[in-house]
A and B are shown apart, each in its own frame.
Chain A
Amino acid sequence: MDTFAIFFMSFSMLAATTLMTFCMVKILGENQALGTDDDE
């Protein structure tokens, strides 16, 4: 494979995976349940 192709592929996949992992870890770390109407 072309060196730049490897770079672009790795960078793009890593960026997408990192962003999703960050968000999911943060969400799973927060309270899973949504609020109740009483909150309002």
Chain B
Amino acid sequence: MSVERHAQERWGTRIGLVLAMAGNAVGLGNFLRFPVQAAQNGGGTFMIPYFISFLILGIPLMWIEWGVGRMGGRHGHGTIPGMFDLLTDGKKPWAKYLGVLGIVSPLIVFIYYTYVVSWMLGFSFFSLTGHYSSLDGVDDMRNYLYSYQNLTDASYHGSLPTLLFFFVTILFLGWVLGRGISGGIEKLALIGMPILFVFAFILMARVLTLPAMEASPAEGLNFIWSPDWGALGNARVWLAAAGQVFFTLSIGMGTIQTYSSFLRKKDDVALTGLSTAATNEFAEVVLGGTIAIPAAVVFFGVAGATAIAANGTYDLGIVAMGVVFQGLPGAELWGRLAGFLWYFLLFIAGITSSVALASPAIAFLKEEFNFTRKRAVSAVMALGFAIGMFHVVFYRWNVMDEWDYWAGTFGLVVFAAIEIVLFAHVFGIERGWKELHMGADIAIPRIYKPIMKWITPLFLFLILIWWGATEAIPTLLMQTGQAPETVPYRWLSRGLMVLMLIVGVEMIRRAWRNRSDSPETVD
């Protein structure tokens, strides 16, 4: 029953699939997080652990997630609980419950991430209309952003713009997702991704041809890429590199599996999966590394850019870049347009990731509870807006950090560790290898067989052990420097996330009770 139901939706073209998957991976982190991580963790030498992590963590997990997703789709499962059930041949009833992470984690991230994406829509509008063009300097621009984020601070904005742009973003997402895989998500990627690349190339060319002010563009590039050889001996740098690879490729989420579940049995996953990883790396290393930080160095000097980067990605991406584009040589209109290009680029990068983050929950409601696509989309968007209001109202108490840490950081590593053990050791690497090569356009190098079986799991468990030894207790007890007034809101956040997990587990239990077919065995 569910196989036919799942097969009603398919990707239209291969290039559309690659761009949709790349859209899932290319997000705010490519343009904001990567250059900050590189600059703070050894500069050029950061790329050594980064590329090693890409090869032994990112690429194998990417292939596995594509393969698991396609296999799930063949058996009528578009989400992780069913896929984990398949990986255990239906013999381990607990496996499907572990799969709750592949629905609830992306849903949690979807909720706060979409709120951040709505800021980019808002700021692209403010830039184009010159709403902040009278502001002078970083401090004014920071207050402008804080006023936008804080509903009770009406110094620059009332609460209406914040709510309005969030609502419009949710409505737009609902419209895209309601049009289905080929007619909505794929079309968004086919239009959005080329625009994103064109905007990024224009901005890169403008930044690299800026006249020297506090520093030259070359000094900006030097700031990111200048090597600190001592960093190679620092475990923290290696973990930062592994983390960046993890997050930039959107692995450990459950989104890649849902997207690839709409492939057919013999559609290639080896070359197509590698292509999306490669497209993401291009966007990150080539484009992400040559816009925000070099521009900030030109305008504020190395010391100024360091201070801005230390304040986090929003200070760099929204505050500093707002000031930078206002200060561009030439007519004010060009500055406004450049600001619009930047914020709208980030909006596209974010929105193509948001549609992917919402997809597992939508697929789950459709397949397990017989929702129509429109009804499932409406339910997820309504939930996203309702819980998103928690972030809108309580943002100033740092609730988003708590959600991002557990669902968007820690949860990904836990999920990936479970997934790779099930794939390589329960399902079996030989069967898995055969699955990945079904219809493949390239042969995956054989060295990846032992890497998938031993090296990648070992790497993931080392990360978890390191976390357990150094961060677990203080983080759980909130002893890592949180402001005391934020603590109740952080606990409330944890409570909400746990509640979402419990509801997810209960829904999986009911879904399986409703399934009339017996456990499936993978052919």
Chain A residues with a Cβ under 8 A of chain B: 1-2, 4-9, 11-13, 15-17, 19-20, 22-24, 26-28, 30-37, 39-40
Contacts and interface: CB of A to CB of B under 8 A. Distances in A.
Given A32-B15, A34-B14, A8 B266 contact: no
Interface of B is mostly: helix
Contacts of B11: 34
Contact of A4 (B51, B227, B282): B227
B274 interface: yes
A27 B16 CA distance: 12
Chain B interface size range: 35 or more
Interface of A is mostly: helix
Contacts of A11: 47
22 contacts: A1-B221, A1-B225, A2-B222, A2-B225, A4-B227, A5-B222, A9-B224, A11-B47, A16-B281, A16-B284, A19-B281, A23-B275, A23-B279, A27-B18, A32-B15, A33-B14, A34-B11, A34-B14, A34-B267, A35-B265, A39-B264, A40-B265
Contact of A30 (B12, B282, B285, B441): B441
B47 A8 contact: yes
Nearest to A2: B226
Nearest to A7: B44
B227 A8 contact: yes
Given A20-B278, A20-B281, A40 B221 contact: no
Interface centre among B74, B218, B267, B282 (most CB of A within 10 A): B282
B221 A35 contact: no
Contact of A26 (B265, B281, B441): B441
Contacts of B497: none
B195 interface: no
Contacts of B285: 12-13, 15-16
B263 interface: yes
